[in-house]
A and B are shown apart, each in its own frame.
Chain A
Amino acid sequence: MKNKLLEIQNLRKNYHTQNGEIYAIDNISFNIENQEFVCIIGSSGCGKSTLLNILAELEEKSSGNIIKKENLKIGYMLQDDALFPWLTILDNALLGLVIENKKNKENIEYVISLLEKYGLKDFLNKYPSELSGGMRQRVALIRTLAIKPDILLLDEPFSALDYVSRLKVSEDVSKILKSEKKTALMITHDIAEAISLADRIIVLSKRPAKIKNIYKINIDGNSPLERRKSKLFSTYYDKLWKELDNDI
């Protein structure tokens, strides 16, 4: 495997609280390859978010190895768009660059071009309160893309949206990630969403999270909506549903 971006080996994570120790993640190993879209699904509270936080270096791992490709740059997209209400859309999208002291002409132009390309041209100088939920989520994605990450970690990025916007935004995100040739690792508890987006789906058990199964998704159809129409879609859905069903 020459295109491996990320290799996770025997990852474990325990939390210490006054009431005792909680085992969140137990011995997880998997790889992520370049330009792959991997989804992790599992019941809520199974430690999915913890896994993402560890990969984004927001939390420490307890043991195991995370081998990253040299100079691997990670972008993190949260559940909530977390746009700053006092900044314009453009300034919000530039936030990551400002923090990294990389706000130069070239990068600003790149961000503007992204915003223009993905339907936010007329909103550069507007404030987040003037945008719909779907648009805000798109700005949040562009804010993540602005720092030119090699891999994006997406933490249930659509869960705050209503159903219709959800379908639309996942369509947008899939299109954006494909055309920008990005690798993505997304966690979700929505089986249909995972099948419509992912190349591979990793199913986690309930806490402490272990890998139950990994599915390779082979559905023709380029976009999430096309995939949802495919006959294979319901086959995968049944399989994954059975995997998760035992946990509830």
Chain B
Amino acid sequence: MISNEQKKYLKSIKVKKFIIISIQLFIVFIFFALWEYLANKNIINTFVFSKPSKILDTIINLAINNNLFTHIFTTLYEVIIAFTLGIFLGLIVAIILYQFPIIAKIVDPFLTMINSLPKVALGPLIIIIAGANTKSIIIMALLINLIVSIITIYNGFINIDETKIKLMKSFKATKKQILIKLVIPSSYKTIISSLKLNISMSLIGVIMGEFLVSKAGIGYLIIYGTQVFNLSLVMTGILILVIISFILYKLVTFIENKLIKKF
């Protein structure tokens, strides 16, 4: 049995949620409507800012010419590869640093250095080394997400409760047992939340890479549109990018919640 007050409470939560989503959708609608209106009235320059109806035309055109999905999939493919590699390599490097504190001490200043270096600066160099292809794009993205992953996961590792380590040692646990039975499970949350960071970083890296060298992808659409002064294409690219990054972020958050709920 649910009391009336509880019912009222649950209802008020639902109502609140509904109102918030409605307002959010309304804001999006107003944004586009205003954009279209101001463009039609020639108050904003459609050559620079384009307008929603033109963007829609561009999207339809791209879809009909069968290019749109190739671009989306190219970018998604690169993001997913960079993301997966970033997580695995990040985890492995973090484990090595944790197991061998002396290595961690030695590489610490170098990690800080690489972390603070704007990775785009390495772009031209990467292209020369890896060639003007997808490999370069993935290396670019990996450079950006890997360091962050390593640092986040490693920090999770070294912040483990000392008494738990003492407990493991009192049972004469080996280093490997401490790692597998204690360090990794208790950094679970940190590892999961590094996924969120990693997906944003991968996206940044991939788009940056596509700006520098690419034959397809959303970054390519944007840079190509700029070069031929087709700003509707640029706006289309940006819009699609916003949607993709939103969906990817929500997806990772969803996975995160699913995994963390276990505890």
Q: Does B161 touch A at the CB level, under 8 Å?
A: yes
Given A58-B166, A99-B181, are A86 and B186 also a contact pair (CB < 8 Å)? yes
Residues of chain A contacted by B177 (CB below 8 angstroms): 99
B164 contacts the other chain (CB 8 A): yes
Q: Does A22 contact B (CB under 8 A)?
A: no
Minimum CB–CB distance from B65 to chain A (whole Å) comes to: 52
Neighbouring A residues of B170 by C-beta, 8 Å: 56, 58, 75-76, 78
- Chain B positions 150-187 with a Cβ under 8 Å from a chain A Cβ: 161, 163-164, 166-173, 177, 181-182, 185-186
Q: Tell me the total A-B contact number using a CB cutoff of 8 A.
A: 44
Whether A78 contacts B182 by the Cβ 8 Å rule is no
Q: How far is the CA of A98 from the CA of B168 in the complex (A)?
A: 11
State A127–B262 Cα separation when bound (angstroms): 11
Interface of B is mostly: helix
- Known A58-B166, A95-B181, A99-B177; judge A84-B172 contact (CB<8 A): no
Please report the total number of A residues contacting B with Cβ < 8 Å. 19
| CA A75 to CA B169, docked complex, whole Å | 11
CB nearest neighbor in A for B167: A82
Q: Which residue of A lies closest to B170 (CB)?
A: A76
Which chain B residue lies CB-closest to A85? B263
Within 8 A of B (CB), among A118-153: 127, 147
For residue A175, give the distance in angstroms from its CB to the closest CB of chain B. 23
Judge whether A79 and B163 touch: CB under 8 Å.
yes
Which residues on B are within 8 Å of A, measured CB to CB? Answer: 161, 163-164, 166-173, 177, 181-182, 185-186, 188, 262-263
Can you spell out 19 A-B residue pairs with CB atoms less than 8 angstroms apart? A57-B172, A58-B169, A75-B170, A78-B163, A78-B166, A78-B170, A80-B163, A82-B161, A82-B164, A82-B167, A84-B182, A84-B186, A85-B263, A95-B167, A95-B181, A99-B168, A99-B177, A100-B171, A127-B263
Give chain A's interface residues, CB within 8 Å of chain B.
56-58, 75-76, 78-80, 82, 84-86, 95-96, 98-100, 127, 147
